[in-house]
Amino acid sequence: MTLAETKSGSKVRIIGFRHPGAGFIRRIQEMGILPGSTVEVERNIFSGPVELFVRGTHLAIGRGIAARILVEPLNE
Amino acid sequence: MNKAFTIALAGNANVGKSVIFNQLTGGKQIIGNWPGKTVEKAEGLIEQEGLKIRVIDLPGIYSLSTYSEEEIVSREFIARERPDLVIDVIDASNLERNLFFLLQLIELEVPIVVALNQYDVLEGRGLEIDSAKLSNLLGVPVLKTVATKNKGLRELFSLAKEILLQGKKPTGIVRYGKEVEERVERLIQEIQREGDLPYPPRFVALKLLENDPLIASECKSGALLTLAKELRKELEEIHGEQAETVIISERYSVASRIAESVTRKKETLQADFTDKIDNLFLHPVGGYFILLLLLLSVFFIIFKFGSFLSDEISTLFNPLIQYLENLPLPGFLSGLLVHGLVEGIVAGLAIVLPYIAPFYFLLAILEDTGYLARIAFLTDSLMHKLGVHGKAFIPLIESFGCNVPAILGTRVMERKRDRLITSVLATLIPCSARSVIVFGLVAVFLGPIYALLLYLIDFLLIFLVGLLLNRYLKGLPSGLIMEMPRFRKPVLKIIFRQTWIRLKDFTNFALPIIVGANLVMEILILTNSIEPISRIFSPISWFLGLPAFATVALLFGFLRKELTLIMLATFYGTTNFGAILTGKQIFIFGLVTMIYIPCIATIAALKREFGTVKALLVTLGEIVGAIIIGGLLNFLLRACG
């Protein structure tokens, strides 16, 4: 599944990216969203950006970019 | 000693670089709680004990592989101009991500001092950082600071001076995994053989492995690039990931290990205040409701406070003007002195200042609390329809103050297309000068509802223009990546200071223009030149349904938009505009002033950022558009009676 399809309050692990060569994919990796990292989905409402908690900070990621981040759900 | 040293302030966005800059140099950088305020480097000079030190405040940067335009400014400065020392400002409460940048900075081998800033926020979370240990692990000196409270800055500066004079570079190297280090080593050998890049070999080697396009474009050696490509491929085979992912992951794992080993929990964590507030402010329904309520209250506060203050100030100056009018001076001189000079100043103070002062005050509060980033979040979907992402909303909000810094501020957008769209939309936002017309003319003489209506028409127009630009400009919109700042209680001192800095711009820059234009107008009146000039524009006046002189007043708006109203006042010798214009004329005059052309300073800003052709196109488009819209409204209202 992609980050855009996650539920608010869930924890997911990043597993990869669609179009990994794109500039914004490099940037989100530099912001700490890397394959293997665990992120908390704080806010994901039908439209608008997805808010994540990752490495101690809150990041807002546009829906289009979120749809290119592949994740797997983590069971608590 | 006459040599001037250079110290650059660098670090992630919104960590407090500009606050430190202002405290060190007495500078007046705009500060606030959102990422991307500083888009151009600022410079201040400190002279101490015969030592000249230039302090440079750089835009926020997350990585030395740059992404947005404002980051390029920082990277170019650090990597190419090679400051004598870099103060890396780190958000102590966000150590890991900030270390990611510091690790790259260390690889550049410039002398560094680390300011562990916003230390109070960290303590507020019940955490502490062992700064001595951090300093040991990284091989650079580290000091705790709280810039907003001026804590630790004196020590920071004297330590920076000491390191600077010694020219002491970071000691010790941070090592990455074996597979990476082996390949770095091979690249370093090749780089030393070629030796044509102005950066340290290890930095270049890592950037090449990371596939950084800028470094690659600076490399002249084909052999080096081929080797780098081969090594990247090897890494990709070993790790099953893109080479850039491998290097970034390596850096983060080092950053994470260091951050963990120096951070200690002192007491149990309190519930985060920001999280709770965000549940409200970012609520899918409530969030928009609050936003709307907030904007409406801003509107009414400015109107109520402004019109009250405007009356008070006018009354205050009345006796002076009466006294001057009765002086036995020759008519020409009296006209120039009283109507030109004094009334020009009074107009600036009584018509303009009362509305822009509360505006800047409220804007500073919005900036300081961190709410602006929430607006960007809430409006992201809407802005995507206009071809830009939510961050564009920040320069657009700034645009309500003045379009010029807003156009510069679009540099937080990552691509040229986004910047152009945002800038065009920004020129259509009624800046404080135009709001003066809306508040001082339309709201006062027609009522605040009509003023709101004007804003609504304008926003609708902005939306339509955005849709069109997105449709017809080549390229695709890019997405939002934004760090959400924590909410912060606004600091009154900072808010007053911020308001004052912006108001000073008004008194130093705008007021002379207003007075000058007023003098020109007075001369035109005294030499009876108004008639012939207004006759030239009579077709436009007819089309807009305005009195001939009102069109001439609009011309003056080219210099500064407030002038359209001030010129009316000067020409008719009254500020009781209800007596000279009908309600319909007031509305059309307000509408046309809102959209017809950006002022000359805005056109210059457009030209600097996008070139002459685009600046002219935008200007012409807006003039023609405003006249057509104003004229159509005129005929529509006439038809309706």
The pLDDT score that the predictor gives to residue B398 is 85
C-alpha to C-alpha distance for A76 and B576, rounded to whole angstroms: 70
| Mean pLDDT along residues B117-125 | 90
Number of other residues whose CB lies within 10 A of the CB of residue B44? 18
Identify which of B83-97, B381-395, B475-489, B570-584 has the greatest average pLDDT: B83-97
Task: Please tell me the distance from the alpha carbon of residue B594 to that of residue B638, in angstroms, as a whole number.
Answer: 21
Mutate to test the interface with A, among B245, B260, B487 (most CBs of A within 10 A): B245
Burial of residue B280 (CB within 10 Å: 0-12, 13-18, 19+) is exposed
Asked if A2 has any chain B CB less than 8 Å from its own CB, the reply is: no
Cβ separation A64–B479 shorter than 8 A: yes
Instruction: Using the Cα atoms of residue B607, residue B613, residue B618 and residue B623 in order, give the sign of their dihedral.
Output: positive
**Distance from C-alpha of B417 to C-alpha of A38, rounded to nearest angstrom:** 34
- Whether the Cβ atoms of residue B108 and residue B200 lie closer than 8 Å to each other: yes
Mean pLDDT of the region B464-485: 88
Side chain identity, residue B141: P
**Close Cβ partners of B135 (under 8 Å, ≥ 6 residues apart):** B114, B141, B142
Mapped onto helix, strand or coil, the DSSP state of residue B448 is: helix
Query: For residue B268, what pLDDT is reported?
Result: 64
Residue type (1 letter), B345: I
Q: Is B376 on the interface with A (CB under 8 A)?
A: yes
pLDDT, tens digit, 9 for 90 and up, residues B426-465? 999 998 889 989 999 999 999 999 999 999 999 999 999 9
CATH of domain A3-73: 2.30.30.90
Record the tokens describing residue B131, joined without a space. 């700064």
Cβ <8 Å between B482 and A34: no
Kindly report, residue by residue over B336-385, the tens digit of the pLDDT.
888 788 888 888 888 888 888 998 899 889 888 999 999 999 999 999 99
Average pLDDT estimate for B251-261: 95
Fold classified for B178-265:
Helix Hairpins (1.10.287)
Least CB-CB distance to B249: which of A20, A34, A57? A34
Closest chain B C-alpha to A75 CA, distance in angstroms: 23
- Backbone region of residue B36 per phi and psi (left: phi > 0; alpha: psi in -120 to 50; beta: other values): left
3-state secondary structure of B157: helix
**B2 band by pLDDT with thresholds 50, 70 and 90:** low
**For chain B, how big is the Rg over CA atoms in Å?**
28
Strand order in the sheet with B42-48: B42-48, B51-57, B4-10, B85-91, B112-117, B142-144
Q: Is the pLDDT of residue B59 over 60?
A: yes
Taking all residues of chain B, what is their mean pLDDT, rounded to a whole number? 89
Q: Which residue has the higher pLDDT, B229 or B125?
A: B229
What is the rounded CA–CA span in Å between residue B42 and residue B38? 8
Q: Which residue of B has its CA nearest to A16?
A: B241
Q: Which residues, listed in sequence order, are joined to residue B263 by a DSSP beta bridge? A: B129
Q: In chain B, what are the domain boundaries?
A: 4-166, 178-265, 286-640
Which residue of chain A is at minimal alpha-carbon distance from B383? A48
Q: Is B26 helix (H, G, I), strand (E, B) or coil?
A: coil
Interface test with A, best of B122, B480, B483, B486 (most A CBs within 10 A): B480
Distance from CA of B476 to the nearest CA of A (A): 11
In this model, does residue A71 exceed pLDDT 50? yes
Give the nearest partner residue to A55 out of B96, B284, B384, using CB atoms: B96
CA angle B499, B501, B504 (to 5 degrees): 105
Tell me which CATH code domain B4-166 carries: 3.40.50.300
Q: Which of B63, B479, B408 is nearest to A62 (CA)?
A: B479
- Residue scoring higher pLDDT (B67 or B356): B356
- Nearest CB to B252; choose among A28, A32, A42: A32
**For residue B346, how many C-alpha atoms fall within 13 Å in the half-sphere facing its CB?**
24
Taking residues A9-15, report their average pLDDT.
95
**DSSP annotation of A58:** E
User: Which residue type sits at B269?
Assistant: L
Give residue B167's identity as a one-letter amino acid code.
Answer: G
Partner residue opposite B380 with nearest CB, options A31, A32, A62: A62
Residues of chain A found within 8 Å of residue B241, distances taken between Cβ atoms = 16, 35
Q: In DSSP terms, which residues pair with B53 in a beta bridge?
A: B5, B46
CB contact under 8 A, A59 and B252: no
Inter-chain residue contact A58 with B483, CB threshold 8 Å: yes
Query: Where are the alpha helices (H) located in B490-562, listed in sequence order?
Result: 492-505, 511-526, 530-536, 538-544, 548-556
Query: Could you tell me the two tokens for B364?
Result: 């500073």
Per-residue pLDDT at B216:
86
Nearest CB neighbour to A57, from listed B97, B480, B481: B97
The answer, yes or no, to whether residue B1 has pLDDT greater than 60, is no
Cβ-Cβ pairs closer than 8 A, A with B, add up to: 118
pTM over 0.80: yes
pLDDT digits (tens, 9 = 90+) for B23-41: 999 877 877 777 777 888 8
